[in-house]
Amino acid sequence: MMKPAKRVESIDLSGIRKMFDMVGEDSINLALGEPDFDTPSHIREAVKEALDEGFTHYTGNTGIMELREAIAHKLQTDNHINASPESIIVTVGASGALYSSINAIVEEGDDVIIPDPGFVAYDACVKLSGGRSVSAQLKDENDFRMIPEDVLEQVTPRTKAIIMNSPGNPTGAVLEKEDVKGMADIADDHDLILISDEIYDKIIYGKKHYSPAHYSDNVITVNGFSKTYAMTGFRIGYLSIPSKLTEEILKIHQYSVTCTTSISQKAALAALQGPQDSVDQMRDEFQRRRDLVVGRLRDMGIECNQPHGAFYVFPRMDNPEKFVEAALKKDVVLVPGSSFGKYGEGHFRISYATSYEDLQEAMDRLESLNWQNK
């Protein structure tokens, strides 16, 4: 009898997507991390122009030079990273960046420290590479920040890499400067690779983003265009890589996808070089939605930290699975915290990437459950 590989059998399908599949006609979907905004018009126009010009063929494996130059300039200016076009690989989404980098550096039996609760792909990519995930618990009392002292306790001779994510999914946590520098110091002191997922770096409220690659050369920076520019369907992201790893990561990227879609690269170039007003407008609207959701949840007696980035709230309660089930009967789709790791238990995730009006209606439906009285 034909059997799949054991490393694939050990992985569950995404809990986020399982909840997404339960969406009905009258459902309000608060499960998916996808901005509800239209992609800005100048980006869409760039795609039309690329099509009209016949820009529909393979590009170089690492991406077109103009885009890599623009990404390097963005990283130098915004993230204070000493990036060059030669250090950039344009990938199929940030997910493709994660997959390529993890598979290039992790060997059978290596340990990779991941944030827990954390994005579902981290554990899956580590397992697909033959490695073992080691959870670094993110605690409510620390606003779900990744604390260097806690991470250091998890480092052993088997540790190969650490994944960090700020702002974070599913918690909305934003790491402080000392957190980020501390993580960079651990990478340097123990000769580890630090994979920094910065896909939400432009969606921050009242705080500042810090990139560990500013403090260390042992950092792979992962980013993309999906969240900042509402470009999820374009499937385009990128890696900024230490020179010692560029060729090895390119091998994984090259043999899995060849290159990123040509017209998506033109769209990304327009996103970086065009007006940035839409970025600020979307961030301000996300903040307005965050305030609505956090305020309404607290009024219901549901405890939740105020997130400082991304577009997620991660409330805690005694019976989140039952609450998620009850919400589904009210046509509100949530995600149980256990989908994001063992330390996500006792929580659930709300994505406030949908409209303000839908969020108001969703909060009304959740309030009608009278859950605080149970």
What pLDDT does residue 7 have?
74
What is the separation of C-alpha 345 from the centre of its chain, rounded to a whole number of angstroms? 20
What pLDDT does residue 13 have?
66
* Beta-sheet strands, E only, within 140-215: 159-165, 193-197
What pLDDT does residue 373 have?
43
Which among 164, 154, 161, 157 has a CA at the least distance from the CA of 187?
161
Q: Sign of the CA dihedral 265, 102, 343, 176?
A: negative
What pLDDT does residue 351 have?
98
Contact present, 268 and 109 (Cβ < 8 Å): no
Domain ranges for the chain, please list them: 6-39+277-373, 41-273
What CATH number does domain 6-39+277-373 carry, 1.20.140.10, 3.90.550.10, 3.90.1150.10, 3.40.50.1820?
A: 3.90.1150.10
What single string gives the DSSP state of each residue in 36-80? -SPPPHHHHHHHHHHHHTT--S---TT--HHHHHHHHHHHHHHS-
What is the DSSP-derived secondary structure letter of residue 195? Answer: E
Q: Sign of the CA dihedral 52, 53, 58, 62?
A: negative
Rounded-to-integer distance, Cα 323 and Cα 191, Å: 44
Contact present, 134 and 114 (Cβ < 8 Å): yes
What pLDDT does residue 5 have?
74
pLDDT tens digit sequence for 335-369: 999 999 999 999 999 999 999 999 999 999 999 99
Q: What are the helix (H) ranges across 115-197?
A: 120-128, 148-152, 177-189
What is the DSSP-derived secondary structure letter of residue 10? Answer: T
Rounded-to-integer distance, Cα 234 and Cα 237, Å: 9
pLDDT tens digit sequence for 102-158: 999 999 999 999 999 999 999 999 999 999 999 999 999 999 999 999 999 999 999
What pLDDT does residue 6 have?
74
> What residues in the chain have per-residue pLDDT under 70?
1-2, 13-24, 372-374
CA atoms within 13 A on the CB side of 47: 14
What pLDDT does residue 4 have?
74
What CATH number does domain 41-273 carry, 3.10.20.90, 3.30.70.580, 3.40.640.10, 3.40.50.720?
A: 3.40.640.10
